[in-house]
Amino acid sequence: MSGEIYTFKILRYDAQSPDKGPYFDYYKIRVITGLTVLTVLLRIRDELDGTLAFRSSCRSATCGSCAMVINGLPNLACRTQVGSFQDKTIILEPLPNMEVIKDLVVDMTPFWNMYEKVEPYLIRKSPNPEKEIFQSEQDRKKMDQFVNCILCACCYGACPVPARDPGYAGPAALAKLERFALDSRDERSAASLERVNDDKGVWGCDTLFRCIDACPKEVRPTDAVVGLRKTLVKNKFKRTIGIGGKE
Ligand code: SF4
């Protein structure tokens, strides 16, 4: 039989039966070249242990559902090949900074709450145009990387700040805010950016770049933090000298 035997060491916990855990379960699986961590999880659940809980959907690094910690680093199970690890033991744990509901499934409410706070949609003040709003290729490029975010929360799990300050907006929310702040069609006011002008927002970032390392879509949330900081300082300067600075 081809393939190699890997041991999957998976953190188990059930918030409905907290006295039983957390603890690790071990599953031995023969893995052929090309199998992803998600494929193995589906096999474990189908063939060995139907009680194992994890999220998944698209299987193509598009929906962001299968984010988890794989051998110590947040990543998507569907884009991680088991064979990419030399060690034949793969450790799977839930994303940090969120409560575990069951096994690898976390309660993403804090992540979504922060996301909602930044108003992650196009805000217009001008009347709706007759046709679509034109955006030049050059303007689109400014926000390219942030558009790629799939809201998987790998960056939120990798960030050290929410662990000590659950009120911190987090990398994905700040990246999404910068995505709309940079959008040539968006007309949000300078005052609306003020909501992240404190240590719960852009000034709370430790700039350790862990979000960048964790992001499976090559988004660089720290760039958003730096960009927003610059905009906020510029806006303050404009207000101080009495030019611009819409409120
Ligand atoms: Fe996931 Fe990257 Fe978006 Fe964070 S910035 S939610 S890691 S895709």
Exposure on the CB side of residue 224, measured as CA atoms within 13 A: 32
User: In this structure, which residue's CA is closest to atom 8 in ligand 1?
Assistant: 149
Q: What is the pLDDT of residue 21?
A: 81
Confidence at residue 247, expressed as pLDDT on a 0 to 100 scale: 46
pLDDT at 1: 65
Give the predicted TM-score (pTM) of the model: 0.94
Which one of 69, 154, 177, 213 would you pick to mutate in the ligand 1 pocket, going by the greatest count of ligand atoms within 8 A of its CB? 154
Q: How far is the CA of 199 from the centre of ligand 1 (A)?
A: 21
What integer pLDDT is reported at residue 128 of this predicted model? 86
pLDDT at residue 167, as a whole number: 97
Burial of 103 (0-12, 13-18, 19+ CB in 10 A): buried
Segments in the chain below pLDDT 70: 1, 244-247
Model pLDDT, residue 244: 60
Q: Which domains does the chain have, with CATH numbers?
A: 4-105 (3.10.20.30), 109-241 (1.10.1060.10)
Q: Atom 4, ligand 1: which residue's CA is nearest?
A: 155
